[in-house]
Amino acid sequence: MRALVQRVDWAEVEVAGRVIGLIRQGLLVYAAAGPADGAAQVEWMAEKLVNLRIFEDAQGKLNLGLQEVGGELMLISNFTLLGDARKGRRPSFDSAAPAGQARPVHEALLAALAQKGVRVAGGEFGADMRIRSQAAGPVNLVIDSPPPSTGPLAAADP
């Protein structure tokens, strides 16, 4: 699973001319699921996002997490994050899970984030979306979960 995380002052997502999600200070997260991603990657990513210390404390250090600042999170499905553009001019999306497999992973990530006490807004899976935001910082990170066959998730994933 890959996530592109951006610290924002606000973000909103629009589908078919209607705003369907809005957050104030927090994180705008674009996420993509790979074919091998499952419950362990979802839990790992949810835990990472909620506890990621990328908000400034009183001394101006990036030392506070989303919950400590009362932040919100917007999650947008985005399979193109797993695109490979190293060869040719057209990216390959072979590393992304097919929509039927990615949708439940995305929905599980939304639910896992909400269970951790974070106010979560989201887009519409597979829809043509317009996302507007105001970046704060800017602070942007790309986060990859460990693959199922190695690392700390190996024991958790059958």
Whether residue 11 is contained in a domain is answered as yes
Structure tokens at 59: 């001394």
Is pLDDT of 152 > 90?
no
Domain annotation covers residue 110:
yes
**Is 56 within the bounds of a domain?**
yes
> Does any domain span residue 158?
no
In 3D, which of 15, 30, 158, 38 has the Cα closest to residue 97?
38
Mean model confidence pLDDT for the chain: 94
Render pLDDT for 73-95 as a digit per residue (tens, 0 to 9).
Answer: 999 999 999 999 999 999 999 99
Number of domains forming the structure of the chain: 1
Distance CA 27, CA 75 (A): 8
Domain with 96 in it = 2-85+92-148
**Cross-strand bridge partners of residue 8:** 26, 135
Quick check: is 157 in a domain? no
Question: Residue 157: which pLDDT band, with cuts at 50, 70 and 90?
Answer: very low
| pTM for this entry | 0.91
Q: What is the CATH number of the domain that holds 71?
A: 3.50.80.10
Task: With a cut of 50, say whether residue 47 has pLDDT above it.
Answer: yes
- What is the pLDDT, as a whole number, of residue 150? 56
